[in-house]
Every structure is written in structure tokens, then in C-alpha cells.
Chain A
Amino acid sequence: MSEEEMKSTPLYEQHVLAGAKMVPFAGWSMPVQYADGIIAEHNHTRRHVAIFDICHMGEFTVKGEGAAAALDHILARPVCDQKIGVCRYNFLLDPDGKVMDDLIVYRMGEDDFFIVVNAGTRYGDAEQISSNLPDGIEFTDVSDNTAKIDLQGPESADVLAEAGLDIAALPKYFYWTKTVIHSIPCLLSRTGYTGELGFELYFDAGRAVEMWQYLLTLKNVKPAGLGARDTLRLEMGYALYGHELNLATTPIEAGYADMLKLDENPDRNFIGKNALAGDAPTKKLVGIVLDGRRAAREGAIVFAMDGSSVIGKVTSGAFAPSLGMAVAMAYVNMDAGIDIGSKVILEAGRAQIPGTVCELPFNKNGSARKKL
């Protein structure tokens, strides 16, 4: 895709003025980092607070009588038992049980939903969801009119307090509320992709610049780019669509069996369920801590400790700034006998790096669930 065909968010000019390095991402021109650099932005988010332009992501509304039951059939995790006011992480599966997207469903009312999807999967998701809705339920892709800014970091609640919000009234982890910030009506959820205390703000795209500039006037708020977003989420072991999740992977292989609760709801039916219930997983997602700072990147081969047999492939890997060492997520074959503590060898360029399979998250000190 040439640069001319690339989409830009309403905040493009702000990024360029701030000295951001713009890179293509899922068809969008996005800031990978600002002048301070990825590690400084990463550390600032872990220690203080940062804002991220996430306007590229997609948002849908699904409304009308029967919407809850319809989405319950379209998505892998239940929707019917989701309370109004709650956000729930969910999966859109194809009939083979493979992941078309991972998304978050906000229950706004009895039959009123707001769904946040990845940028690269937006149009496919829209087609899959709308084509499976019965007549009379209204599906709208509101992405183009919706700005999304993520406010993330242990000081993010203090920032909202400085903006005039009552800390006691802020939503709990994975809840949402409607509020007004800097005279701009917002949907505010306590969600995020960094592992830190944080919020996601959705509001009129026409006011994105105004909101961005205002947030930057508040104490300790700095912009952070997609580079830091990636190292922050990797340290938390969060899946990134296109890497850990894709059309060759089921959510069970990705480690979400407990979330799906297939055994608890044997009668519930949803698209992809039969395949999930029938096919035994052939691979599993693991976290690997490498010996040292050198990273094994996406696509790197995972070898058994004897170095001879290929047992898997890295899906994401980088130096983890908060840990001071390199980490990776990888799929390994179920029959390779890999478990927590197993030693493996990862390919990194011409080098072979030893690593140890560990529990996720890599970073266990996140403030995301901190009580306010």
C-alpha cells in the first residue's frame, strides 16, 4: 500500500508536530514513537501516565430487540449474562472455531451494545456480525465518527481527577460509564492494553484534537506510540491479533479455555462451537524468558533443548524494558511435552538463544486492577 492510500487519524498532524515517527499499521499511518523513544514512553506509562492515539480501531453498535441473544450466537463467550455497565473481552470465530478477531463488547442496555474491534479486521468483522444478525436488529459501523484515546498508567485516575471527575465515581475494572471531559461527552471504560491502571475514552472524532491537546496539559501526561503499546502488552502476555491470534488458531490454543467455559454451558450454541468442542488443540501458546537482552522475533523457530527438533514458532518477541531482558510468546506443539520451566532454544538471526518457558504475564506488577 502506498503512503497516499494510507488512512490517517484526526490526530495525524499532532503526531507529526510532536516529532513522531509515523509507520504503516493495518492500513493506517500511525506514530510508532515520539521524540523520547519507545523505552522512555514505555517506562513513563509504567511509572506515570501516557496517552495513545487508538482512533484507528473500529467501533460498532448493535441495537434492537433480540440483540443480546443474536450476539450470544455470533460471539464465543456468552453475551446474555453480561451485565449492563460491563465490558467483556470476546472472540469472533469462523465456523471452524478459528479467531476472526478478538474484541470487547460493552453492554450499554438490555439490547444495546458497543463493540470495539481491531483496525485490520474491521470490515471482515462488520460483514460477519451484520450478516448473522436477524432482521430488525440494527448494525452500524461508527468507527469513522468515533475517536479513541487510551489514557494508561498508575497516575491515570489522578489525571481524570484533575480533569474534574470524581475518583470515587470512576468505573471499576472492565466497567464503563458516560461522562464529560473538557466539555466533550465521552464513553469512559476502565480497560486498556498495558497492564497498568488505565482508561479508554470514546467520543466524537471531530473533537479528537481538542481532547488530545487538553489531556497533554494535565500533570505528567505524555504521548506514547504503538512501539511502547506493543512492549507494554507483550510484558503482560496480552495477545495481539495477527500474531498470537489469527485464522489458523482457536481461542483454546491461545490459552482462553477457562474464559470460554464450554463445560459450564453445554447447551449454549455459537458459531465455531462444534469445531472447538470436537477438535483437540495441536498447539499451545507459551511465554518464554530468554537468557539475556537479545530478542527472538516473530517467526523465529523454537527448538527443543537438544537443538535438533523444531517444536514451535515465535509469535511476538522483543526486549522487555521493565524486565531488562528479552521475552517471547510462541506456539509450541502439544506433543512436545513443553510446560512451565521447560528449557528451549530460540533462533535469533544466526544465533541460538536459550530460554525458559514461564507463566504469563511476564510483568507481574501491573496496576490495572488497583483499587481506587
Chain B
Amino acid sequence: MKYYSEDHEWVEIHGEEATIGISEYAAKQLGDITYVELPSEDDDFIVGDTLGVVESVKAASDIYSPVSGTVVMINDALEDEPNLINESPEDKGWLCKLTNIDTSELDDMMNVDAYDKYLKELS
């Protein structure tokens, strides 16, 4: 299952792990991404913490952790190819994977349909 936050991060749950990224809408709003600051493995985050930074030509944006957990893997490919986030925001452009997650936090997030509706209200 995939869940979305109001800040346009997404979380996909596979067993014990949560993969995190930014939505296609967010990637499009940011434009060409030129730099990504990722967390380090073993970093612990509480929901809402700043997980990293995504920079485009024009601006830098914080990424907030949509769930609490511990980083088990980061997407190293983004270091040399930050534009993977533009090309494939919800697949190859993932940011990191967390473990030790609290699935009850997902209750506060939106599913795809609710997120689509949320985006329509924004525009």
C-alpha cells in the first residue's frame, strides 16, 4: 500500500520496511532537481522530522519524514543523478527506506484516491 502526506511525501510499505519518496506533483513543482541531501543509515527519525533536502535550480525544500523509524538504506544513485527524482519520482527516485516503523502513523496519511482529491483542491 502507498500513502501520501499533505507535504507530498509518499510511503510504501513492504513487510517491516517503509520506502519514502516525494510525489510526482512535488517533483514537478520543484522543477529540475540538482542536489539531494539524504539521511545516513541508522539515523532515527520521528514523524515530521527533517529527513533531507531536495534542491532545484531555483530553491531548496526540506523533506519531512512522513513516519517515524530508523534508516536502513538510502538511494545512493541520487548523489550523481538527482534528476532521477524528476524522471521517476515514485519509483527509481525513492529517497530512503526506514525500519522500526509504527504503522498506526499511516492512519493520518492519504491513500492514492484521497491524495488525488487533495491535489485537485490545491489547484
Are A293 and B34 neighbours in the complex by a CB distance under 8 Å?
yes
Which of B32, B37, B53, B56: most chain A CB closer than 10 A?
A: B32
Asked if A85 lies at the interface with its beta carbon under 8 angstroms from chain B, I say no
Count of chain B residues near A, Cβ 8 A: 15
- Residues of B within 8 Å of A318, CB to CB, are 57-58
The answer to whether B60 touches A319, judged by C-beta atoms less than 8 angstroms apart, is no
Give A40's nearest chain B residue, CB to CB: B32
Whether A294 pairs with B35 at a CB distance below 8 angstroms is yes
Query: Given A227-B58, A321-B57, A349-B60 in contact, is the A295-B35 Cβ separation under 8 Å?
Result: yes
**A301 CB–B CB distance under 8 Å:** no
User: B60, A39: Cβ atoms under 8 Å?
Assistant: no
Determine the chain B residues whose CB is within 8 A of the CB of A206 once the complex forms.
Answer: none
Q: Is A250 an interface residue (CB 8 A)?
A: no
Q: Which residues of A are found within 8 Å of B56, using beta-carbon distances?
A: 38
Give the size range of A's interface with the partner.
Answer: 20 to 34
When the two chains form their complex, are residues A348 and B60 in contact, meaning their CB atoms are under 8 A apart? yes
Interface membership of B31, Cβ < 8 A = yes
Q: A176: shortest Cβ distance to chain B, in Å?
A: 32
A64 beta carbon closer than 8 Å to chain B: no
A294 touches B37 (CB 8 A): yes
**Beta-carbon contacts under 8 Å, B26-64 to A:** 31-32, 34-35, 37, 53, 55-60, 62
CA distance A51 to B34 in the complex (A): 24
Give chain A's interface secondary structure class.
Answer: mixed
For the complex, give the distance between the alpha carbons of A295 and B60 in Å.
9
For B57, list chain A residues within 8 Å (CB): 38-39, 227, 231, 318-319, 321
Residues in B with CB closer than 8 Å to A294 are 35, 37, 55
Interface centre among A38, A318, A319, A348 (most CB of B within 10 A): A319
A36 closest partner in B (C-beta) = B32
Whether A297 contacts B60 by the Cβ 8 Å rule is yes
- Give A328 Cβ to nearest chain B Cβ, in Å: 13
In the complex, whether A32 has a CB less than 8 A from a CB of chain B is yes
Q: State in angstroms the CA–CA spacing of A33 and B60 once bound together.
A: 17
Contacts of B31 in A (CB 8 A): 21, 33, 37-38, 227
Task: Name A's B-contacting residues (CB within 8 A).
Answer: 21, 32-33, 37-40, 227, 231, 292-295, 297, 318-319, 321, 326, 348-349, 351
Q: What 6 additional pairs, Cβ within 8 angstroms, besides A293-B55, A349-B60, A351-B37?
A: A294-B37, A294-B55, A318-B58, A319-B35, A321-B57, A348-B60
User: Can you name 19 A-B residue pairings with CB atoms under 8 Å?
Assistant: A37-B32, A38-B31, A40-B32, A227-B31, A231-B57, A293-B35, A293-B82, A294-B37, A295-B35, A295-B55, A297-B59, A318-B57, A318-B58, A319-B34, A319-B35, A319-B57, A321-B34, A349-B60, A351-B37
